[in-house]
């Protein structure tokens, strides 16, 4: 299976370490593409790594779309990787083996560990009881990986491998893969739901380990960070679930919004000022998302995307 890495970056300090981890993969990828933006010049890269550069800041969605469009037609699987994520040397090989064996699997990830400690950053994506996107197992102690695959609702684009065929099937009507109105945050949840709507599955390979340093980008976004986290959650829900599902779950969804605002506010006080703006814009956000054409039948219940 021919593979490629796509690594979006805004010039974070950990890019070189990320690329070292990619070049140390026991199964060498056929292409490595770095999509750099928000700087006058792109970073200097080792020989053999392609650079796509934009002086204008690209959100994660736009950067990934640009990388996808630059891939050669022979690429069969695409690894998305944050520039502050460091996969262990057998990571790619372990995930490719899953896609080779599980033909209905669109995407697979390993366990992502937080920084240098032994806490889990995430082992997949899903929605909690309040309709909030969550990283599965976040904060739990990491133990030696058990054997066997585990089915999960979706994967996190922090570090995951996608089947190219499946990505082509879930492109939006304008031909792009990720919805660029998301800019950054929760675009991987939207992608996971679109794959699920077409019957594709997602799997966790516990033996594939990647370490994630944390959101360098989020700390730079200030007011935009809570805006995208809060508004994109509603975009995800309205774009992929039936209106009846959201109406039935409305009380829980509103409680979830309050929980999200309190959580964001502990890290960034601007969240308390941004939240009312999101509320004012919510009818427009919901309408635009409901009207977005995308392949697959909308899901009937929020529980269809819970772990």
Per-residue pLDDT reduced to its tens digit, 234-272: 999 999 999 999 999 999 999 999 999 999 999 889 999
The domain spanning residue 212 has which CATH number? 3.90.550.10
pLDDT in tens, 201-235: 999 999 999 999 875 544 555 778 899 999 999 99
Residue with tokens 């919805």: 179
Listed in sequence order, the residues at least 6 apart from 193 whose beta carbon sits closer than 8 Å to its beta carbon are: 154, 236, 239, 240, 299, 305
168 and 271 share a domain?
no
CA distance between the termini of the chain? 29
Residue 108 zone, left/alpha/beta (φ > 0; ψ -120 to 50; rest): beta
* Whether 94 and 7 share a structural domain: yes
Residue 204 is inside which H or E element, if any? strand 201-212
Pair 256, 168 in one domain: no
Least confident of 152-156, 161-165, 214-218: 214-218
| Block residue for tokens 């990388």 | 67
Report residue 148's pLDDT band, with 50, 70 and 90 as the boundaries: confident
Which residues form the domain of 19?
A: 3-218
168 and 22 housed in the same domain = yes
Q: Does the global pTM surpass 0.85? A: yes
How much of the chain exceeds pLDDT 90, in percent? 86
Residue 102 shares a structural domain with residue 203: yes
**Which of 218, 239, 267 is a domain's end point?**
218
Q: Mean pLDDT for the chain?
A: 93
Regarding whether 25 and 154 lie in a shared domain, the answer is yes
Binning pLDDT at 50, 70 and 90, where does residue 145 land? Answer: low
The CB-side HSE value for 282 (13 A sphere, CA atoms) comes to 13
* Shared-domain flag, residues 43 and 180: yes
Give the per-residue pLDDT at 223: 79
Residue at a domain's end among 218, 252, 276: 218
**Domain end residue (candidates: 160, 194, 218):** 218
Average pLDDT over residues 128-154: 90
């Amino acid at each position: 299976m021919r593979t490629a890495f796509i690594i979006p970056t805004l010039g974070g300090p950990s890019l070189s370490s990320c690329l070292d981890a990619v070049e140390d993969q026991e199964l060498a990828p056929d292409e490595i593409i770095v999509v750099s933006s928000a700087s006058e010049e792109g970073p200097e890269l080792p020989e053999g790594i392609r650079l796509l550069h934009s002086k204008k800041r690209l959100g994660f969605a736009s950067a990934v779309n640009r990388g996808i469009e630059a891939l050669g037609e022979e690429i069969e699987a695409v690894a998305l990787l944050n520039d502050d994520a460091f996969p262990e040397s057998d990571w790619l090989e372990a995930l490719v083996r899953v896609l080779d064996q599980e033909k209905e699997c669109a995407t697979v990830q390993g366990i992502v560990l937080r920084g240098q400690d032994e806490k889990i950053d995430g082992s997949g994506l899903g929605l909690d009881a309040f309709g909030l996107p969550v990283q599965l197992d976040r904060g739990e102690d990491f133990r030696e990986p058990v054997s066997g695959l585990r089915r999960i609702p979706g994967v996190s684009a922090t570090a995951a491998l996608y089947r190219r065929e499946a990505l082509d099937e879930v492109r939006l009507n304008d031909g792009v893969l990720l919805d660029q109105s998301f800019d950054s945050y929760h675009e991987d949840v939207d992608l996971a739901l679109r794959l699920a709507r077409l019957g594709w599955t997602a799997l966790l390979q516990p033996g594939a380990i990647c370490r994630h340093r944390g959101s360098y980008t989020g700390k730079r976004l200030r007011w935009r960070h809570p805006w995208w986290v809060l508004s994109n959650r509603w975009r995800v829900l309205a774009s992929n679930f039936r209106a009846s599902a959201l109406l039935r779950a409305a009380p829980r969804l509103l409680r979830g919004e309050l929980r999200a605002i309190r959580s964001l506010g502990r890290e960034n006080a601007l969240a308390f000022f941004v939240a009312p703006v999101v509320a004012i814009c919510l009818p427009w956000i919901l309408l635009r998302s409901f009207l977005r054409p995308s392949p697959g039948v909308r899901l009937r219940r929020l529980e269809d995307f819970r772990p």
